[in-house]
Structure 1
Amino acid sequence: MTASPPGNNSPRKPAEQRLEIYQRKLRALKDRSSLREVMERELLLKFIEVNHSSINEYPLLPAQQKSVVELLCGRIGHPGYEFIHKHIGDFIVLLVHYEKAGKVGDKEKAAELRARLVNTESMLIKCVQGIVYTMALITDNFEEIVLRHFGQSALKKYSELIEKYELDERFWTAFVEEFVATQVEEAHKEILEGEKFNISKERNFLIIRFLFDDILSKLNPTSQAIDKTRIQKSYLASLEDEATTRRSKLVQSILVKGVSSLPKADTIPQKEFVQAARITCMDPVAQDFEKAYANRVTQAKEQKAKGETPDPEKAKREQLEFKFLMDQVIGAGVGAAIAIGRTSDHFYRAMEEFVPEQISGIRSLSHDFTFATLERILYFLLENHTIHILRETGRSEGGKIQVRSGRARRAPAAEVDALPGMTKIRKTQLFANDVTREDTLLFKPKTAKQMASAMAMLSLEPELQAALSRIWKEAAFRVDIMVLLNLELIAKTTTNLQNKLAEILEKYGVAKRSSNDPVDEVLPS
């Protein structure tokens, strides 16, 4: 789109005028002998331009407007594109026939074609609407992530990225660079400068231990309440409001059936349908369809009970009206699914650059841009980009160096001490002190199964078991990121182990800096 479309306050043109605009555009394209795919794209752009005022939440920023266009007009990367191309192709054919009917004065045929054109136009505009709603939800949720974890001052940088980039791989690369990679690099530098690491010898390994807490210290989280946007509230209603949840399930079933005939429709993940249906329920057409569906079911039951035969003309008219609503619901759902699928592809390709060896660990979260999922992804990226940096530092040493993380659940000491029946013996069996955080304990069991076995072995009262289970489920983790130097393997490749270890420690920036450094105790003499 070369120019910004008119503002949302512009009234929508009547159908006759809109069709005339499309006809002029199609004639111009044919005069230039444009390729079919060019015709389709240009008419879709004209749809947006002409119907802009009827698209809710249409972005004002040129970069985001272009994102809408690219998501709508793509040709590969999602089965939903076949739906759009089929219907814009049908629209072009209908438009040609409509013009011919007008020229020969066939008013009845022209009226029939006009109705079909307007219906197809409405369906395709709903595709745009689904894309726009999805983009708005994704950007709103990421904005909340930035505000929640990086503070008000970080919103300026986020806004700059939104203004500069389309919502494609370049945007997500810049986002991860700014809010993950830069944070990790600065935190790691401060850790080394402040010597906030521990070096110890455990069995046949020399271990450099970093606390993930020190990486998180670079964040600037806020505990203040953050108001949800209208889009976020509408989405949450599909999760929390019983009526909207029912509507979402109905829309999902209709969407699945509506695209089932598309090539590769079976490759669309089920959770993408779930998310697309919830987003579609933001649009009033979803509620209109639900009412029409309920009325249709009720009417059919009543007619069957009374043995009545529906009036053919009335039934035909009602069927057309019902299909009109259903097609719009499917259109909005397809648009939402395309935006979810393509944006997920872009986002995960961008993340892979920063966590190439660990990206498989969050593939299961793809196609889900809910706030809770985005928080999980943020912490995953912060932790695993740190691991990636440490692995790259020692990559030349091959298998002699490993980098991994360890986890232990934390519990407030005061809360544990206040539990009825929590004796010192029981506490010692279940917990250890967290030496990195005052007044905090660490669960000794590592898994829920181990925890259950430990509680059973100690014959804990049911009330105490229930309380401990609650603390276990709610517990945050202490995460240690460890660089493990295999002393045996290193010794096999050098004649001077002490010098080699000193070289590796220097490479990691943790070489001893004082005479009482703990390295003195662990380096072989």
Structure 2
Amino acid sequence: MTATEQPLQEERLSAYVAKLQQMKESRAVREILERELLLEFIRLNQSRINEFPLIETQQRSISELFTLRGLEDPLYEHVKAIIGNFIQTLNRYGKALENSDEDSRRSLIPDLSNLEVLLVKCIQGVVYITALTLDNVAETLATYFGDDAYKAIDDITVQEELGVRFWQRHIEHFIGKTVESAFVKMVSEERFTLRKEGNMLAMTYRFDDLLSYLGATPAPPDKSRIQQQFENQEADFETRKNRKLVLDYLRAEFSDTGKGFSTTDIGHIGQLVCIDPSSRQLSAALTFLHTGIQPEGMELTREQAVFITEQVQALASGMAIGLNVMREDFLRAPQMFSAKEINAIRNMLGPFDLNGLHRVLGFMLESQFMAILRQRFGEDAGKMQVRSLRERRVAASQVLALEDLGMNRIRRNKLWRQDPDANDYMLFQMHTVQELQRLLQLFQMESPLVRAVAKLWETARFKLEIKVGINLDLLSRTTTNLNQKLAEILSRFGISSL
């Protein structure tokens, strides 16, 4: 019988008992006993877990994350309680088998069956969050680097288990190597401007030019099955209503334990929980538990209703554990960034959602490009600086679409200006949300138009320019030949003449 086949329940129970007995005979400490039993549990239940990975390295990653690497997470206490009950009941089941006590053995099967389901849900939570995270990462990388990114992603996924090294391989390939290569191409093709600005000589690089060297323009991404299921939880009123119920339940349930989810994670985890069938029974279970009223089309006992809520808790716990471990691994992976930059990445990353990943990848590319420039400061670092300039940018077609809501030419010209480097985009004229609000009030814009403009502001990407400044006043104080010194500095950036 292979690991992918579905053993009959009693065969699974016998296999658990055999593994438990083996661990006892070897006098394994409690932690090792639990780990080995859980590894056996995962092996026997793979076919009961949706989206369980086919790649061996990722199978090991799931097992390691659930049985070892997630142990320090606060929410693992919830999982540990289920494991403890499972082992305790399994001991009783083993004794009944040993004593040929058929009545006792059969009476324990319902409890063991429920505990099996709860453990499967815990593992299912880890698998769901892992699958969604990796698919979101792959989609984000393909957005920047084109379809060729998938080849590198697949190679790393086959070779590396989930962990710090897994993320390091991605960062080394997609950030370290590609940004250095893009910089060399930008210099060779003179994709920069050099001009005097006051007492500064400024070299300006457009981030759009950097991005243009990263990969071919990708086709619209094909969503994976789990991405589609996740996004479908916002599809209509009923799914959004169920999502809110799950979110409210998780907030209340886990805040009581002092181990609540962070505000940045709760929405993501709650929405992912909703793809599991148990979440769609939660409303009925809670209604019955609070009022005693039987839901339409169902006949619940109190035990059944409680069991439904326990499944939702188990799923959410597994997801939170998996998310927390992956996030800490990811944040430990970059070796070229400062502590300040890592903290910024933490604040942007969130639960590995697509928006957060887009911000993080853009920030990493920007930071690495700036680091390459700083490396060329050399002994003149005190006389030079590098900074980034941002402007919110939206597609011109999105702005023109606002005409139906009352956006006329005068209003439009006060809010936006044409991007001089990209005809398909327009730049917001203001830099803060307070400036935007004052302008919206000044023009007394209609409420639907205000909401539409605010959404464009919130979802706008940034046009980014990276500027190196050489302070000519400071430089002139340390050299007798300013032009020769400038030529020396510029040569470090691949610029041969002023």
**Range into which the TM-score falls when normalised by the shorter chain:** 0.7 to 0.9
The residue number in structure 2 matching 1:311 is: none
1:80 to 70, 75, 78: 75
Structure 2 equivalent of residue 159 of structure 1:
154
Query: How far does the alpha carbon of each residue in 1:261-298 deviate from its partner, in whole angstroms, 9 at most, with x for none?
Result: 66x725x4123232222222211122233333334445
Cα distance change of structure 1 residues 221 and 453 upon mapping to structure 2, 3 Å threshold: farther
TM-aligned CA deviation for residue 501 of structure 1: 2.8
Deviates more, 1:38-47 or 1:274-283: 274-283
Output aligned runs, 1:316-331, within 5 Å. Answer: 318-331=301-314
Task: Determine if contact 1:187/1:215 at 8 Å carries over to the other structure.
Answer: yes
2:236, 2:473 → 1: CA distance? 60
Evaluate the alpha carbon distance shift between residue 210 and residue 71 of structure 1 in structure 2; reply closer, same or farther with a 3 A threshold.
same
Q: Determine the structure 1 residue equivalent to 2:474.
A: 489
- 1:286 alignment partner, one of 269, 272, 279: 279
Q: Which one is further off, 216-225 or 407-416? A: 407-416
Moved more, 128-137 or 444-453: 444-453
State the AA in 2 paired with 1:201.
Answer: K
Distance 1:507 1:81, change over 3 A: same
Residue 380 (structure 1) shift: 2.1
- CA distance in 2 between counterparts of 1:163 and 1:412 reads 38
Partner of 2:47: 53
Give the Å deviation of 1:130: 0.7
- State the match for 1:277 in structure 2: 270
Matched residue of 2:6: which SS? coil
- Picking from 505, 510, 517, the partner of 2:490 is 505
The aligned runs of 1:142-291 (5 Å cut-off) are: 142-220=137-215, 222=217, 224-260=219-255, 265-266=259-260, 268-291=261-284
* TM-score w.r.t. length of structure 1: 0.81
Q: How much identity, in percent, do the aligned residues show?
A: 33
Distance in 2 separating the partners of 1:402 and 1:109: 77
The amino acid across from 2:143 in the alignment is R
TM-score w.r.t. length of structure 2 = 0.85
What is the alpha-carbon distance in structure 1 between the residues aligned to residue 116 and residue 415 of structure 2? 65
Structure 2 Cα separation of the partners of residues 104 and 164 of structure 1: 48
How far the C-alpha of 1:103 sits from its partner, in A, is: 4.1
**Secondary structure of 1:480's partner?**
strand
Q: Is the 8 A contact 1:126 1:331 kept in 2?
A: yes
Q: CA deviation at 1:322?
A: 1.8
Structure 1 residue matching 2:292: 3-state secondary structure: helix
Q: Which residue of 2 aligns with 1:405?
A: 388
1:333 equivalenced with 2:333 (yes/no): no
TM-fit CA distance, 1:182? 2.5
Alpha-carbon distance in 2 for matches of 1:125, 1:445: 52
Give, in angstroms, the shift of residue 483 of structure 1. 0.9
CA contact (8 A) 1:12 1:53 kept: no
Structure 1 residues 55 and 487: alpha-carbon distance in aligned structure 2, compared to 1, 3 A threshold? same
- Out of 3, 6, 9, the position equivalent to 1:6 is 3
Any idea what SS the aligned residue of 1:369 has? coil
**Is 2:360 the partner of 1:377?**
yes
Deviation at 1:191, TM superposition (A): 0.8
The answer (yes or no) to whether the contact 2:288–2:294 under 8 Å persists in 1 is no
For residue 157 of structure 1, what is the amino acid of its counterpart?
A
Question: For the Cα contact (< 8 Å) 1:355–1:388, is it kept in 2?
Answer: no
Structure 1 residues 368 and 439: CA distance shift in structure 2, 3 A = closer
Q: Could you tell me which runs of 5 or more consecutive residues in structure 2 were left unpaired when the two chains were aligned.
A: none
Residues 442/89 of structure 1: CA separation in 2 closer, same or farther (3 Å cut) = closer
2:135 pairs with 134, 137, 140, which one? 140
Distance 1:271 1:412 in 2: 28
Structure-2 change in CA distance of 1:121 and 1:397 (3 Å): farther
Aligned match for 1:35, one of 29, 39, 42:
29
In the alignment, residue 358 of structure 2 is paired with which amino acid? E
Structure 1, unaligned runs of 5 or more: 303-314, 513-518, 520-525
Contact 2:146–2:218, Cα closer than 8 Å, also in 1: no
Query: Residue 346 in 1 paired to residue 329 in 2?
Result: yes
Q: Describe the superposition over 1:427-476 as per-residue Cα deviations: whole angstroms up to 9, x where unpaired.
A: 5x8777755345866554333444566788xx76858x959957973765
Distance 1:122 1:478 in 2: 50
Which residue matches 1:480?
A: 465
In the other structure, the counterpart of 2:20 is 26
User: Structure 2: how far apart are the matches of 1:261 and 1:61?
Assistant: 38
Deviates most, 276-285 or 83-92: 83-92
Which secondary structure state, in structure 2, belongs to the residue aligned with residue 96 of structure 1? helix
| Distance in 2 between residues matched to 1:349 and 1:362, nearest whole Å | 11
Query: Are 2:136 and 2:354, in contact at CA under 8 Å, matched by a contact in 1?
Result: yes
Superposition deviation, residue 69 in structure 1: 0.7
SS at match of 1:152: coil
Query: Could you say what secondary structure the match of 1:358 adopts?
Result: helix
1:367 to 347, 350, 355: 350
- Secondary structure of the equivalent of 1:483? strand
Structure 1's 109 and 248: CA in aligned 2 closer, same or farther, altered over 3 A? farther
Q: 1:286 to 1:480 in 2, by over 3 A?
A: same
**1:368 alignment partner AA:** P
